[in-house]
Amino acid sequence: MTAFQAPTGTRDVLAPESARIEQLVATFAGLCRRAAYGLVLSPMFEDAGVFRRGVGEASDVVTKEMYEFEDRGGRLLALRPEGTASVVRAYVQHRPPVPFKSWYVTPAFRYERPQAGRYRQHHQFGVEAIGSADPDLDVEVVALLDEYLRAAGLSKLVLRINSMGDDECRPGYLAALEVFLAAHADELCGEHREGWARNPLRVLDCKREECVALRPEMPVLSSMRCDNCEHHFARVVAGLDALGVGYQFDDFLVRGLDYYTRTTFEFGSLALQSAQNAVGGGGRYDKLVAALGGPETPGIGFATGIERVLLALDAEGAAPAGEDGVDLFVVDLTGGASARDLTHQLRRLGFSAERAFDQRSMKAQLRQADRSGATVAIIVGEDELARRQVTARVLRGPDAHHQESFDVDDLAPSLQKLLAGARP
Ligand code: HAM
């Protein structure tokens, strides 16, 4: 074992595995751009109050999982456990025009018990759309996540949706829930038997047997929603129907972060074990901007875990994203200067090109060319160089072993033709 290893619950991702993530980033960024969401970058750490107040003092993420520390100046900071509170903090600070539609890709830090699909540093894509209470925005955001997950290659998905009410109907519902929980406290799981009063909603999505067993009797918000929330939710549902996004209603989908109001949603992968099957989720947070010091402003967003999506893809047996090798590998038998100049020239012409370093033998260079996944090797020998020529040898595909000589000063068209023919 080496002296230092990546900390528990974190992992290094090297190429070629990282190529799959690169592809997901491109897919997500492309979809966001098409839907007019702009990239937002914000700090990896914030005043701990951003998350305490934003995500909720009583949420597990804050009480059990947050990486909090004092910096050398005595400020209490926290590594971001998620992106929403940070983006909303940035919105309140800068007050860009609304609707403020943003996307991000970020590491998120949570001190959890590491297991498959659950890390202490995971990576999320997300969007946050701030400044509109229109239910069509809920539909846009849910449909965007649906489209991304499908574009990533997932098909065994289930979307669960719920509405968590607002200031008008939630207090009455909470009161009813509290009465129920007080009467059934003895029947709750070990954690909630004593602690349910701190955050009664958490009992709804508790996965422990005792709490789940009580679900059929628990009061649910859907039977107590106010007209405004009912109307909003009906519009969301009609929009999902219109766009052909399938869903299931789930009264117990309250999600683990405390900022949600009205619409909540979560995509589960049917190919993953239930404890870690959430590949993405989100909801409305119409009180969050005000909670972080801004004016009353509605918002909605989602985040999707990169590692979870990769796990779900593997579990579905979805074909792994093609690992693209380079187009060309320059094998230089003249000492290295030709490889230096030619790779530079080829890259400027738009090809991907690699070379060997350290003046290795032809055999070693060809072995490396093969390992690099290159389609064509460009071999430069002394005699040819004198004639300003190179040999192009096809390394893979239907034309493998085919060899041709090309003029160094007119490489691009010949190579393009060769590559086009060599690719299956
Ligand atoms: P979240 O459900 O806590 O939501 O996390 C989003 C996604 O991140 C999850 O669905 C899951 O795929 C992934 N994830 C969460 N924790 C871990 C972990 N420990 N290891 C691996 N993957 C994980 C949020 O973070 C909200 N900010 C989403 C949101 C945005 N709501 C409104 N806007």
- Residue 119 Cα: closest atom of ligand 1: 20
Cite the residue boundaries of each domain of the chain with CATH code 3.40.50.800: 328-419
Ligand 1 geometric centre to CA of 264 (Å)? 13
Please state which of the four CATH numbers 3.40.50.800, 3.40.50.2300, 2.30.22.10, 3.40.190.10 is assigned to the domain occupying 328-419: 3.40.50.800
Q: Is 119 in the pocket of ligand 1 (CB under 6 A)?
A: yes
Give, for all 424 residues of the chain, the pLDDT tens digit.
799 999 999 999 999 889 999 999 999 999 999 999 999 999 999 999 999 999 999 899 999 999 999 999 999 999 999 999 999 999 999 999 999 999 999 999 999 999 999 999 999 999 999 999 999 999 999 999 999 999 999 999 999 999 999 999 999 999 999 999 999 999 999 999 998 999 999 999 899 999 999 999 999 999 999 999 999 999 999 999 999 999 999 999 999 899 999 999 999 999 998 778 999 999 999 999 999 999 999 999 999 999 999 999 999 998 766 567 899 999 999 999 999 999 999 999 999 999 999 999 999 999 999 999 999 999 999 999 999 999 999 999 888 999 999 999 999 999 999 999 887 6
The residue whose C-alpha atom lies closest to atom 2 belonging to ligand 1 is 281
Instruction: Spell 19-37 as b/e; 16+ CB within 10 A means b.
Output: ebbebbeebbeebbeebeb
Note the pTM of the prediction, 2 decimals. 0.94
The residue whose C-alpha atom lies closest to atom 15 belonging to ligand 1 is 305
Tokens of 138: 């809920």
User: Ligand 1: which of 13, 55, 82, 263 to mutate, most ligand atoms within 8 Å of CB?
Assistant: 82
User: Ligand 1: which of 102, 105, 106, 122 to mutate, most ligand atoms within 8 Å of CB?
Assistant: 122
Cite the residue boundaries of each domain of the chain with CATH code 3.30.930.10: 18-169+225-316
Nearest-angstrom CA–CA distance, 154 and 268: 11
User: What are the beta bridge partners of residue 101?
Assistant: 129
Consecutive H or E run containing 145: helix 135-152
Return the CATH architecture of domain 18-169+225-316: 2-Layer Sandwich (3.30)
Ligand 1 geometric centre to CA of 112 (Å)? 13
